[in-house]
Amino acid sequence: MPQKPDYGIDAPGVVRNLLVIGAALILSGIIFPAIRFGNVTILWSRSAFWPGGSCLLTGILMLVYAKWGKFRHRDMMLNMLRWRGDERVLDVGTGRGLLLIGAARRLTTGTATGIDIWSTKDLSGNSLERTQANIDAEGVKDKVDLKGDDARNLSFPDASFDVILSNLCIHNIPAAEGRAQACREIARVLKPGGTALISDFINTGTYQKTFAACGLKVSRTGVNLLTFPWLRVVRAEKP
């Protein structure tokens, strides 16, 4: 039987820390409802429950996104395009292949390429091998290629792709100039008449400005309330 695809947990370290810290704060408030320092009594339960509950809720919402919301967000992104089936597609920061495989399913004669540096800090179990296993399990291996590439220095010629996709990738580049360079590289390898859809929870306004400076026609969606953190999609079209 083929292996069942697994698209992992986004930002697993953050999710783990939020759940652990939240649980620890709430438990400490239950065990030590009040703490006395000399003549001063602190109602620790009141101090611990609110931040503890906030941490737990945030961690749970991130898990809900990883197991449910990101699939709906992927479909929303892909439905923003009119597919012919012969497109050449690039997924920047493909992770374990969620967007890449979704795009490949909409292709007939086209091909999809996923690039990543496969950092496990950004996605649990993130590796080229696990991405390939998902591709095999989803039955799209004849349409898909994987490559270890840095988004700031794409190894493709100018005007190589009809569609470029990215979700929760570019914000992981630490320097503002590095993020701008990634946007410039996306603009460079996008074909005239092509469309890039870049999804993120921060810096999307900056992505817009960079794409516009490259001569692309740019717009941005409102936040998607079915995701957590809330995501926007920047749409950049090359004349």
pLDDT digits (tens, 9 = 90+) for 116-165: 998 877 777 788 999 999 999 999 999 999 999 999 999 999 999 999 99
28 and 127 share a domain? no
Q: What percent of the chain has pLDDT over 90?
A: 81
- The answer to whether position 40 is within a domain reads yes
23 and 105 share a domain? no
pTM: 0.90
- The answer to whether position 1 is within a domain reads no
232 and 181 share a domain? yes
The count of domains in the chain is 2
- The answer to whether position 2 is within a domain reads no
Give yes or no for a contact between 185 and 152, defined as CB atoms under 8 angstroms apart.
Answer: yes
Bridge partners, residue 195, by sequence: 163, 237
136 and 165 share a domain? yes
> Bigger pLDDT: 99 or 36?
99
133 and 210 share a domain? yes
63 and 97 share a domain? no
Determine the structural domain holding residue 107 and report its residue range.
83-237
- The answer to whether position 120 is within a domain reads yes
Quote the CA–CA distance of 221 and 234 in Å, as a whole number: 7
Last residue of a domain, one of 23, 44, 72: 72
226 and 132 share a domain? yes
Q: CATH number, domain at 115? A: 3.40.50.150
90 and 154 share a domain? yes
- The answer to whether position 165 is within a domain reads yes
- The answer to whether position 49 is within a domain reads yes
| SS (HEC) of the chain | CCCCCCCCCECHHHHHHHHHHHHHHHHHHHHCCCEEECCEEECHHHHHHHHHHHHHHHHHHHHHHHHHHHHHHHHHHHCCCCCCCCCEEEEECCCCCHHHHHHHCCCCCCEEEEEECCCCCCECCCCHHHHHHHHHHHCCHHHEEEEECCCCCCCCCCCCEEEEEEECCHHHCCCHHHHHHHHHHHHHHEEEEEEEEEEECCCHHHHHHHHHHCCCEEEECCCECCCCCCEEEEEEECC
62 and 89 share a domain? no
At 38 the pLDDT is 63
The residue behind tokens 């993020």 is: 179
- The answer to whether position 7 is within a domain reads no
144 and 203 share a domain? yes
pLDDT digits (tens, 9 = 90+) for 47-88: 888 899 999 999 999 999 999 999 999 999 999 999 999 999
